Chains A and B, each alone.
Chain A
Amino acid sequence: MKKLLQSLFILLFIASTAMAQDRTITGTVTSTEDKLPIPGVSVKIKGASGGSVTGADGKFSIRANNGTTLVISYIGYKTKEIAVGSSSVINAALETDANQLTEVVVTGAYGTKTSERSQVTNSQSVSGEKLNTIRSTNVNNALAGKVAGLQVRSQSAGALGRNTDVRLRGASGFGTGSGALYVVDGTILPNADDVNLDDIEDVSVLQGPAAAALLGTQAAGGAILITTKKGKSTTGSGITLNLGGLFENAYILPNYQNTYAGGNSQDLTKYTWKATDPADWKALDGKYYPNYSDDSSWGPRMVGQEYIPWYAWYPGTEYSNKTATLTPKPDNAKDFFDTGVTFNNSISYSGSGEKYNLKMTYGNQNTKGLIPGSSLIKNTLNFNSSYDLNKHFTVSANINYVKSVLNGNIDDAYSNLTTGSFSQWFHRDLDMDIMKQLRGLTVPGLQGETIYASWNHSDPTSYDPSNPKSFYAGNYWYNPYTFGDLNTKLNQRDRLYGNLSFIYKVNNDLSFTATYRKQQNTTFSENRTRTELETSATQTGLKAGYFTENTYSNRENYELLGHYTKQIKDFSLDVTAGTDIFKLQSNYVNATTKNGLSIPNLFTIGNSVDVPTVDNYRSVEKYRALLARATVGYKRLAYIDASIRNDWFSTLPSENSGVLSKSIGGSFVFSELLPKESFGWLSEAKIRGSYGEIPQALGTSSSPFGAYRFPGFSYGVNSLKFNGSLLQNTPDALVDPDIRGAVAKSSEVGLDLKFLNRRLSVSGTYWDKTETDYPRAVPVNGASGFTTILTNIGKITSHGLEFQVQGIPFNTNNFKWNVSATYANLISNKVVEVSQKYGVTRVTNVNNVWGATMPFMIHEAGYEWGQIWGNGKKRNADGVPLLDANGHFVNDPNVYFGSVLPKHTGGLQNSFTIFNMFDVAANIDYQFGGKFVSLSNMWGAYSGVTARTAGVNDKGNPIRDKVAEGGGVRVDGVDATSGQPKTYYLEAQDYYQGLYNSKTFDDYIYDLTFIKLREVSIGYRVPVKKLGIAKFVQNATFSIVARNPVLIYAKTKDFDPSEISATSGETSQLPGTRGLGFNLRIGF
């Protein structure tokens, strides 16, 4: 082994020394701005052809004679000429050229770097500065609109800790989409949650196999490569303090009606005291009350009349046994939500010396959520350093530790206690201030039980002195504040990730890197439901309970890479090759109490009334890969880039466990050949094209890789025994013995143009992608005894266009305007085939908001990916709905409503520097097309909560009025039997509940279209010199920032379409928010 290494190195030495000739000048090119080395800088001898390019460390080496002049040039910097004197070391510091767009170096897989010229794909890079305009806490949200072809699916700021999702160039697979791979300094993270944006140097987005083949299988859906900041020397102490605060409020909620109160009857009922009723209630005798037990809002018109509010019946408050006036409370839902407050503070040290660089950051994010009682506290530690042991050896470490603690009941599923109530089952007359005030109000029940007061208690007719609970307890709902107080959830996470590298640099051209990577995540969660919630309800079905879970996952990579660069006359060569060995281990143990807690509020699993449910799972999967990539350049004119990688997976059948990924592409900078005289306006022009292919393993998404899906067909055992008898199920899924992974192929061509001395750049790309052979459980008819067979099926093809424009329209001393825009058109993302072999044309049950009752998302051959199908109105050939004899719509169970994918996505970023003092940035993003299903609006209409249930009809009469009195919703259609046009008027409740009964849900399908001003920042550079504090403070910037300040346009007014919670729609979306905050950044 040792000998082998020795001979290897000897070989390599011979190889490199064989190239040496004449006198060699070496040196480092750095930037005057940040003192960092610049890679890819052209170093030429004036008047001579050929030349050299700086490496990743900014170092170059060139043969030259005395008296010649070195021309050192790099895009975005002013060219420098230095005469060659006696010294054989020439270092150069380049000044930036503010009039030019800087050249972007894109970081690729395994640390490879490519200059803009040699890019063969439309890999886009976003600088940390542009990314972190408002100091976002989520990298996906920060990318919105900044990368063409990237669609971010954000989540409400109220949904603390929830993963957001991105789609790169449409969606793939037969599930809800496979998402992108996140790679931080080469280490793969399962999601983007735990990256501190303050640490990010830049982000590169590799879309599709052509760009990401070197990463293999896991990057089939594309990859988001994050490079963190390295230590660098600064003029001051190197310490930077970043303080930020953001205050967010509920902004977008469904449009509620504010005319009618709660209950199921338009009339108030007169209360007559009876002897069995509490004596205090005598005060209410003869007064009127609305129906409380029904949780809908089909109640009486609110005109300020006297009535008995829900809380008057409970003893012991200032409101007990008193009436109130019945008036609308238009903001009651909004009033429930607190102001979300996020403090995002970090302190970092950055420094470097001749032999080392070091950066350390401590970040603290402390968020108090919009949902009362919710909070997320996240602490991040980053250590990033490298140290040169000697000329050849460098060690480096990049270690990140993130601890996050999430508290609160973050839920926007159907029937959740916040939006699930407000938007679906609620009384529009409820006063949220009083609700809040009475959150702790209790009455004693039987057997010493505690009953918390609820707005949804029973009607007084049902009062039974022997069972007070039947009146006082909540029927379906609790006071939402009380629920939050008594139902708590904790999720805490410890993530450690990073790498240790050992670099052996043989010479300037050749180096080897051995890296160990690790991403370990452990979580602990628990949910507590207090016993009082069980006793405070008549039929919520909620039991006191305790759930706890521990999870552990650990990803480890061992990489050994060789890197070789060489300039040989007019040719440049850049080769990376090596191995990657990977292991993923994950497991969990969880337990839930069942059927309540034996001892009230003792939160242990052992305290379960019934045998608790206990579950555990563990899996291990591995891959081994050989990989290589090479770029060959000719005269800065033409480049060829190729990569190849073979993976072997533990999860594939062992006789067929290897898969080969590959890509090849070229770029041709044809402007080099154009005569400068006539094409002076064209600074640079390049065409590029590439092709790539990535086969996958058995995972349903790109990663993990589908442990145990093959060979499958194994039996579990029910943890419960039936009087001592074990219970087992026969598996319902068969597995094809020839199962293999899906294959993704993509190709793209593009044109990159730069004009007017590089002040304007325009880039266009056409791409095409095909994915086939998904390892998917194909439904087979259950009567066969099996419901699915796992086999390879399907084909999805997609193609689209991407454009990016960047420019500097103005650049004067006092005013600089930078603009960039992205636009992507997803021309088509079609499901071509599901399975001809099994006669399946539809992948059902992909995603839904209400089972198969509401329209749901499927993939059907011949249609765009992710279609919404389901129950809608039956229509005649002209599209006119059919009506039955009662004027209700007629059901068609198979209506096609459209795809969930937006057709057009993009954004616009403007930034201005004014008087060198103010920095203003405004980021807009948009999408057009795509559908979603709203469950909130369906139930909101069913229960009379939303505005549509309270308008006036074409006669000018309230739709809730009796039809005989001119009220009702006008319904036009044709008679289902005769086909003759018909018009009916249906009383609003009949109409809206009829939509549910006849299962005609067309009205609840909405468009995802929006234009949103997502980020605004106005920064002020504190004049530290003028203030005379320059001794202590190097620089200071104070900014006012806004997050989601304006939803400029949306087709639906009820939701923020950029934050739809599920792929197919929303089940009771948390509100859209708008936030305003500040940031203070001080460099010491």
Chain B
Amino acid sequence: MKKIFIYALTGLFLVAFAGCKKLEDFGQTNVDPNSTTQASPSALLANTLAALSGNNPAVSTVNPAFAYDTNAGFFGQYFSETQYPDASLYTTNTSRPFTIYYSSVLYDLQNIQILNTSNNMNQVSKIVQQYIYWTITDKFGDIPYSQALKGIEFNAPAYDSQESVYKGMISTLTSAVAAFDNSGISGDIMFNGDVASWKRFANSLRMMMALQLSKRYPGATDYAATQFKAALADANGYIATNAQNAKIIYNTNFKNPLWNEYNGRKDLAESKTMTDLLTTTLGGDARQAAYGGASEAAGNVASSSIGVPYGVARVTATSFTDGNPTWARVLRGDLRLESSPYFILSAAEVTLARAEAANMGWTTEPLATVYAAGIALSHEQWGVAAPSANYLTNANVAIGAAGAAGNLKNIATQEYIAGYPNGLRAWNVYRRTGFPTLVPAPAATNSTKLIPRRYTYPSSELSTNAANVNAASAKLTGGNVQDARIWWDL
């Protein structure tokens, strides 16, 4: 009986599967119709470059902060928070991501090199990678570099010392400049495939990076000065005119980050620190007309020099903005249209860096000329009238011969102003030179009340790379705290 039943059932199954070749053969069922296995290097490059400033929701959910980093801008005091003071009160923040930049844009650039379709695409991707690494290491200190972006082979990459990160970046930039050939570049929304521009950008980055090491390597024959000079002397040149600026020109699909900043919100203001510096200390800097807008409406042409008090409690800030409706928004409305450019690295910044190098005796460039050119370039960049003679002779602007007392303060102040609104630049200038003199937030909530010197490693690192992040933290004075100084910040 039992046997018969088994036969019967077996027969049943045979019938049921008469049509199937094999039970496990599902043909094309599991082929995903929603995505492709093919990647396009140009699409990867465009994706990365579109993200180079920050706060651009159209690019990715990562919300990167490279050339536009408001937190750094709070520490550097470009900006004030108008209603919910948090970062500007130095509240401890252990959730600032940075490895997410590796898995997103840095690996997209790596992937271009892996796909290896064009030598020049590879060089471009290396240059942009160094730029991104630079922004990360200046915020955090030691970061994964030599073992980074190697896939699962190093799923918990070691942290390299900032010294080796810097040396690695500078050497990669140097070799990239030399390695360009005639191959094509596509997806280049910054320089439209112009090799000369990329070489200038790479050399300029190399100069800026070298200068950032001035506290660590002050001497004219030290590593930093040597690299600076070499980049300066490179036949391919550096960014010297505003036409050569590294910038992203946004559009309606991908909007300028400052347009996004005021798209329905108004949390961000130009700080009183900035407006005081420009209007009072420097006796009326023309750039204030561009740097502060009276309305959050894009396209509005009214300027404002009513900076919002920096680092104050919520009530103080909101009372101030209630009482001063035309408080200074970051940039005048017509300079933050959807399609306004955002500067990644400008001729003014590079030129003022050259002035600082000349002042230190790293180079023999004519200090006064270079310095004046830097200031003029910055004015030109923002479309304001050239600096007046009066302005240039202001005690807080004028400089003496190279190395003269007070030179560094005034040069650094000009670098600081020229970097606006790239918050990391402000913070870097301040940490490197100590200028302009910044007073910590009066309502600071951190226990030391000091301006942070670094970003703390995010707690997420403890989940995925605990041994390495702990080793890196152990090298810092006081551990993984925002008051600890990174390697170049003696």
What is the interface of chain A, defined by CB distance below 8 A to chain B?
A: 1, 4-5, 7-8, 11-12, 14-15, 18-19, 264-265, 291, 293-294, 458-459, 461-462, 464, 470, 512, 537-543, 560, 562, 564, 575, 577-579, 581, 595, 610-611, 616-622, 624, 626, 628, 648, 650-651, 654, 657-658, 707-708, 710, 713-718, 720-723, 725-730, 732, 734, 779-787, 789, 838-842, 844, 851-853, 884-885, 888, 890-891, 893-894, 976, 993-994, 997-999
Contact = CB atoms under 8 A, between A and B. Distances in A.
A851 B95 contact: yes
A785 B148 contact: yes
B318 A294 contact: yes
A648 B108 CA distance: 37
A722 B189 contact: yes
A787 B318 CA distance: 40
Interface residues of B, number: 96
A315 B486 CA distance: 59
Contacts of B155: 780-781, 784, 786, 789, 838
Given A293-B322, A781-B465, A785-B110, A11 B150 contact: no
B464 interface: yes
A581 B16 CA distance: 9
A780 B152 contact: yes
Interface of B: 1, 4-5, 7-9, 11-18, 20, 23-26, 29-30, 32-40, 42-44, 46-47, 50, 58-60, 86, 89, 91-92, 94-95, 97, 99-104, 106-108, 110-111, 143-144, 147-157, 186-187, 189, 251-254, 263-266, 314-315, 318-319, 322-323, 325, 445, 447, 459-461, 463-465
B149 to A, nearest CB: 4
A512 B11 CA distance: 13
Interface centre among B101, B251, B325 (most CB of A within 10 A): B325
Given A715-B38, A997-B89, A730 B108 contact: yes
B29 A621 contact: yes
A726 B43 contact: yes
A4 B25 contact: no
20 contacts: A8-B12, A11-B8, A11-B11, A459-B322, A470-B325, A541-B265, A626-B13, A650-B30, A658-B23, A707-B32, A708-B32, A717-B43, A722-B253, A725-B43, A728-B44, A732-B103, A783-B149, A785-B102, A785-B149, A786-B152
Contacts of A884: 447
A783 B157 contact: yes
A730 B149 contact: no
Nearest to A870: B459
A779 B463 contact: yes
B189 A729 contact: no
B13 A579 contact: yes
A718 B47 contact: yes
B34 A785 contact: no
Contacts of A7: 11
B325 A787 contact: no
Nearest to B26: A650
A780 to B, nearest CB: 4
A291 B321 CA distance: 13
Contacts of B103: 732, 782-787
A784 B91 contact: no
B47 A729 contact: yes
Given A18-B1, A541-B263, A785-B150, A894 B24 contact: no
A415 B155 CA distance: 38
Contact of A729 (B104, B318, B459): B104
B111 A716 contact: no
Nearest to A647: B23
A1063 B253 CA distance: 36
A732 B108 CA distance: 10
Given A729-B60, A787-B103, A997-B91, A543 B50 contact: no
Contact of A1 (B15, B94, B106): B15
B1 A15 contact: yes
B417 to A, nearest CB: 29
A1008 B30 CA distance: 42
Query: Would you list the 3 A-B pairs with minimal beta carbon distance, nearest first?
Result: A541-B264, A782-B99, A650-B26
Contacts of A540: 264
Given A15-B8, A727-B50, A622 B29 contact: yes
Nearest to A568: B1
A658 B24 contact: yes
A725 B250 CA distance: 13
Nearest to B251: A723
Given A713-B37, A840-B463, A852-B95, A730 B107 contact: yes
Given A562-B12, A730-B44, A648 B156 contact: no
A264 B314 CA distance: 9
Contact of A783 (B59, B447, B465): B465
Contact of A784 (B33, B35, B152, B459): B152
A622 B102 contact: no
Contacts of B110: 785
Nearest to A871: B94
A14 B4 contact: yes
Given A294-B318, A617-B34, A784-B154, A462 B95 contact: no
A654 B26 contact: yes
Contact of A716 (B14, B34, B252, B464): B34
A894 B459 contact: yes
Contacts of B153: 784
Contact of A715 (B8, B33, B36, B318): B36
B314 A622 contact: no
Contacts of B5: 15, 564, 575
A5 B15 contact: yes
A787 B18 CA distance: 45
A4, A539, A564, A976 pick with most chain B CB within 10 angstroms: A539
Contacts of B251: 722-723
Contacts of A620: 29
A728 B43 contact: yes
Contacts of B264: 537, 539-543
Given A654-B26, A716-B34, A781-B155, A722 B463 contact: no
Given A782-B101, A844-B460, 9 more contacts: A458-B322, A579-B13, A624-B20, A726-B187, A730-B111, A783-B99, A785-B110, A997-B91, A999-B92
A523 B102 CA distance: 39
Nearest to B101: A782
Contacts of A626: 13, 23
A853 B95 contact: yes
A650 B265 contact: no
Given A618-B33, A784-B155, A560 B16 contact: yes
B32 A461 contact: no
Given A713-B37, A714-B36, A725-B189, A648 B23 contact: yes
A425 B14 CA distance: 67
Given A710-B30, A727-B43, A784 B157 contact: yes
B148 to A, nearest CB: 5
B12 to A, nearest CB: 6
A851 B86 CA distance: 16
B286 to A, nearest CB: 26
B12 A464 contact: no
A463 B423 CA distance: 33
A751 B94 CA distance: 53
B347 to A, nearest CB: 23
A459 B325 CA distance: 11
B105 to A, nearest CB: 9
B137 to A, nearest CB: 12
A842 B108 contact: no
A708 B23 contact: no
A893 B463 CA distance: 13
A726 B46 contact: yes
Nearest to B468: A781
Contact of B11 (A8, A541, A618, A710): A8
A728 B110 CA distance: 13
A718 B15 CA distance: 48
Contacts of B26: 622, 648, 650, 654, 657
